[in-house]
Amino acid sequence: MDGAGTQDRTLLLFLYNTGARADEAAQVKIADLLLPNSSRYHSSVQLRGKGNKLRRCPLWRQTVVELSSLTASRSPTDHVFLNRCGQSITRFGIHTMVERYIRNMLDATPSLANKRVSLHAIRHTTATHLLRADVDINTIRAWMGHVSVNTTNFYAEVDLEMKAKALATCEIRGAVPPKRWKEDVALMQFLRSL
C-alpha cells in the first residue's frame, strides 16, 4: 500500500474507532495523541468537538500502531492527517476520500449502490456497535461528543436488531397453552364441592 493508501486506511480506522466527525479528525494534531509505549497506560486522542468542547476517546491497539507509524519523526504541532500536498486535510477532503472508497467498492459490493453510505454512516456505526457491545448510553454520549443523551438515544431507537434481541429475551418459551376452565380437573372438583 502506498503512502496515501496507508494514511487513508489509518484515517478510516481512526474514524471508526473514535466516531469522530470529519472536522474533528481534520483538526487532530500529533500533540493530541496519547500513545504511550507501555501497555499499562491507555492510548487516547483528544478531539475538539462542536463548540470547541474537548473530549478524550480511547484508541485500539491497531489504531495506535498505525497512528504511530504515520506520525513517526513528525513535529507535535503537525496535523496527523495530511492531504496529497502535505497540508492538513480538510473535512471536505475526508468526505471526498470516503466517497472515493465507496465508489471503488461498488463493483465488489453492488448493494452499496442502493444505500446512502457516507462519512456520517461510519460515526453512526461506531455508536451502534458500542450500544450492541452493552456500553452504557452515557458513555456512548461522551464518546460521540453529544451534549445531550437525547441525541445518543437516537441510536437506541433505530437499531432494530437490538430491539429484536431485547424482545427475544422477554419471550415466553415452552409455555403450555392454558387449558379451558372446564378441562381443569382440580378446578372442577373444587366447584363441585361448593
- Give the number of other Cβ atoms within 10 Å of residue 167's Cβ: 9
Please name which of 161, 157, 162, 131 lies closest in space to residue 144, comparing C-alpha atoms: 131
What DSSP string describes 60-82? -HHHHHHHHHHHTT--TTSBSSB
DSSP bridge pairs for 79: 29
**What is d(CA 126, CA 120) in angstroms, rounded to the nearest whole number?**
10
Angle at 48 (CA atoms; ends 47, 50), nearest 5 degrees: 130
**What is d(CA 78, CA 44) in angstroms, rounded to the nearest whole number?**
17
The catalytic site residues sit at: 21, 50, 120, 123
Q: Helix or strand or coil: residue 59?
A: coil
Q: Helix or strand or coil: residue 106?
A: coil
The grid coordinates listed for 111 are 448493494
